[in-house]
Chain A
Amino acid sequence: MSFIKYGDTVKEGDTAIIFLGHESMFPVKVQDGGKTQTKYGVIRHSTDLIGKSYGSKVTCSKGGWVYVLHPTPELWTLNLPHRTQILYSTDISLITMMLELKPGSIVCESGTGSGSLSHAIIRTIAPTGHLYTVEFHQQRAEKAIEEFREHEVDHLVTVKNQDVCKNGFGVTSVADAVFLDIPSPWEAIGHAKLALKYEGGRICSFSPCIEQVQRTCLALQEHGFTEINTSEILLRVYNVRTVSLQIPDLGRATEDDSTAAFDRGTQTDQDVPCVANLQQGTVQFKSGVPPREMVGHTGYLTFATKSLF
């Protein structure tokens, strides 16, 4: 296993994702002799995990079963230990595309935070790119270094423990892209410009508040960035359900006509997955139902280009 290369079987030292059910999963560090408790009983790493294929069903001690999955940055994002608020895959997707990241890209990031975006960047720029990430919180920086080593991607990333607003990224004229997720990004725009390649590159700043965006946009303009663009992306997830709706009783006299018409309607249109059950007085159909509550705002994403002109 590695976060940048698929492996077939679970090995000692791997980070595997244990999948219990719908959106319920957690990561385990596979160790010979290790044990993990789940609600379906215990998983013994030596016998239940090591040597098994990724994607196989693992039976726990109480007879219940789980799946063992190969780690990906997306699964890691959903399961990582939070040290800060993190970016989720919806925002990460747009950031990756709009920063034009690809194998070989050199990227600067600050702060590292919990490493959710870092893992996604590393996945995308491997095997020839590099990530310079700056985190001013010493413990978080150390924890990130440790995780990158465990996930076998430490050769693709350099973590620096310093204040990006004061000391910058520690590199100059090397980056194709810069990403900022800090409270006062406008103070780091100058450093970002220095870190970007002479011939230009892309920048993105993530901020929850519009006042932050405003100051960032001003700073970007002052530093000569162009194509300044702010957007927001929202994820809508739909639950797939079979729904039954009752047919109203409009009284005996009209029943013959209306139900007959309804019946004919559904029979002629075979493609509509609509089943009229007149005996019970209900109609069934499949629907994608939005959840009662959803994430309405994560942050504004401001993108811009540095160019020679």
Chain B
Amino acid sequence: MLCSSRSIKITFEKQWFYLDNAIGHIYGTTFEVTSGGSLQPKKRGEEMATETKEAGTDNRNIVDDGKSQKLTHDDIKALKDKGIKGQEIVQQLIENSTTFRDKTEFSQDKYIKKKKKKYEAVITIIKPSTRILSTMYYAREPGKINYLRYDTLAQMLTWGNVRAGNKMIVMETCAGLVLGAVMERMGGYGSIVHMYPGGGPVRTAANCFGFPESFFQTLYEFPLSKVNSVLSGTFSLNILPSEPEETMAVTEDSNGSLDDKQHPIQEADMECCAELAMESDQPEEQEMVDIPTEGEAFDNNKAKGTTDDKQKKQEKRRKKLIETAALLKDKDADGLIIASRFHPAPLLLSLLEFVAPSRPFVVYCQYKEPLLECYTKLREKGGVINLKLSETWLRHYQVLTDRSHPKLMMSGGGGYLLTGITVINEGVKTGDHAPQMAEEPTSKKRKLQEHV
């Protein structure tokens, strides 16, 4: 069931509407947007049967004279202004097309589909999930997630053996999408340390999943700039700069804009917010209350200037930071996932120190070359095996009777992954074995491939 706040105007794909009417409907319900911005639930199969049995066999007599549509631009606009249902407009367009009956069955189908898309304002409200959010981000805001395609993210979760009960380290600057995906797979069991650059972690996408508050209790965060001090054992709270909430919020913003190079940030953000709110049915107000990090900002607004509250909050932050540092110091994490806009090599070499032996790690990079460097440096350093540099291609298909083929367009690139497994590093390289590890022909792999 939906829960949503009332009277918030949502803009989506050149439409605007209010979500009020959607409340109480089950996920997956399709709505029609009416002129007043209210949503009317629409049953499937309500569609008018476009009974056009007549169809041509080929296009030898179809001439593009630009006059096949009898309705003018103004006519169509008038129909729209009258508030006539999209379905009816499409029907009128068909009736007034002189060539429609001569078109083949296939092109008639195609014509109707195209017009429906344009005139029938229909939205479906669905539950947020990694599938939905990662597909949406890749399509709408790829710059914010470093062009991490959803199938690549799927590989990361699998090769990272992400599951309930793990203690994971996640270093990401993908708007919190990777973090959210890891949280979904862990279901609130185990713990996650989210490493962040700058003043605070960005979790816009993670907040769209609508996770229960309990999931956030096992989520820790740690500033990247303190990693070396933990590794060298010099970490102490005294060297931490005091971070007032105001500066934190500002840095979060600027972090976001750094990720985004294509759009004027303000506009893109607003648009994104609206969509997200729609897709996830998580009204902003509610997020504020539900989610601890946002909650802080909420408290802050409410009790502005109360230094008491501020101190309490800072005390809480410090306490959590000590806990996080302790978690890291154990150096027994069950996995490491990196997907950021930074060069992965230094991140990987340092953060791997926190991972227990015989655990998987996954590094994402939009480009192949930095991962080549990671590969080489890890080989020199040792302590890892089964290094694999890979990429996946994803191809979608149109499957229709007598019209099945790969889709015309496919994604050009979804990034690269370097995966491997940690082992106990004894530091010394035993001469004769090492080259064999690196260069042994892949006889086993060949065998596997033949099986497929």
Contacts and interface: CB of A to CB of B under 8 A. Distances in A.
Contacts of A293: 446, 449
Given A74-B161, A93-B151, A97-B154, A234 B395 contact: yes
Contact of B390 (A57, A102, A235, A308): A235
Contacts of A217: 399
A127 B165 contact: yes
Contacts of B422: 55
A22 B401 CA distance: 45
A262 interface: no
B57 interface: no
B399 A65 contact: no
Given A55-B423, A231-B395, A240 B357 contact: no
A21 interface: yes
A233 B28 contact: no
* Interface size of A as a range: 35 or more
Contacts of B356: 6, 8, 55
B163 A56 contact: no
Interface in A203-217: 210, 213-214, 217
A226 B43 CA distance: 13
B29 interface: yes
Contacts of B385: 19, 67
Interface string A83-103: 001101110111011101011
A6 B165 CA distance: 9
A182 B426 CA distance: 47
Interface stretch (B89-97, B102-110, B239-247, B431-439): B431-439
A236 B391 contact: yes
Interface string B135-175: 00000000000000011011101110101111000000000
B372 A240 contact: yes
B392 A234 contact: yes
Interface stretch (A163-171, A251-259, A276-284, A294-302): A294-302
Interface string B354-385: 00111110000000110111011000000001
Contacts of B187: 102-104, 128
B296 interface: no
Interface string A177-192: 0000000000000000
B164 A309 contact: no
Nearest to A92: B158
Given A69-B358, A103-B189, A288 B372 contact: yes
Contacts of B30: 309
Contact of A124 (B185, B368, B423): B185
Contacts of B76: none
B393 interface: yes
Nearest to A309: B44
Contacts of A200: 27-28
A231 B396 contact: yes
A102 B181 CA distance: 10
A307 B393 contact: no
Given A94-B154, A231-B397, A288-B368, A74 B28 contact: no
Contacts of A127: 164-165, 189
Contacts of A308: 26, 28-29
A9 to B, nearest CB: 10
B165 A98 contact: no
B72 interface: no
Interface residues of B, number: 80
A230 B405 CA distance: 10
A97 B130 contact: yes
B131 interface: yes
A137 to B, nearest CB: 18
A307 B445 CA distance: 41
Contacts of B84: none
Contacts of A93: 151, 154-155, 157-159
Nearest to B26: A308
Contact of A96 (B43, B158, B394): B158
Nearest to B390: A237
B388 A237 contact: yes
Contacts of A213: 397, 399, 404
B441 to A, nearest CB: 8
Contacts of B373: 273, 286
Nearest to A202: B131
B252 interface: no
B389 interface: yes
Could you say which of B27, B29, B154, B442 has the most chain A C-beta atoms within 10 Å of its C-beta?
B154
A97 B396 contact: no
A90 B393 contact: no
Contacts of A72: 161, 360
Contacts of B446: 293
Contacts of B368: 238, 288
Interface string A228-254: 111111111111100000000000000
A293 B242 CA distance: 56
B221 interface: no
A89 B419 CA distance: 13
A199 interface: yes
A33 interface: no
A219 B268 CA distance: 41
Chain A to chain B: the 4 pairs with minimum beta-carbon distance, closest first: A55-B357, A103-B187, A55-B358, A307-B28
24 contacts: A6-B165, A19-B386, A21-B436, A22-B442, A24-B440, A55-B356, A55-B421, A56-B357, A56-B423, A57-B426, A92-B158, A93-B151, A97-B157, A127-B165, A199-B27, A200-B27, A214-B401, A229-B396, A232-B395, A233-B151, A273-B373, A286-B369, A295-B449, A295-B452
Interface of A: 4-6, 8, 19, 21-25, 53-57, 64-65, 67-70, 72-74, 78, 82, 85-86, 88-90, 92-94, 96-98, 100, 102-104, 120, 123-124, 126-128, 199-200, 210, 213-214, 217-218, 224, 226, 228-240, 273, 286-288, 291, 293-295, 298, 300, 302, 305, 307-309
Interface of B: 26-30, 43-44, 129-131, 134, 150-151, 153-155, 157-159, 161, 163-166, 184-189, 334, 356-360, 368-369, 371-373, 375-376, 385-397, 399, 401, 404, 421-424, 426, 430, 433, 436-440, 442-446, 448-449, 451-452
Given A56-B423, A214-B401, A224-B44, 8 more contacts: A22-B442, A85-B452, A93-B154, A93-B158, A97-B134, A210-B404, A233-B151, A240-B389
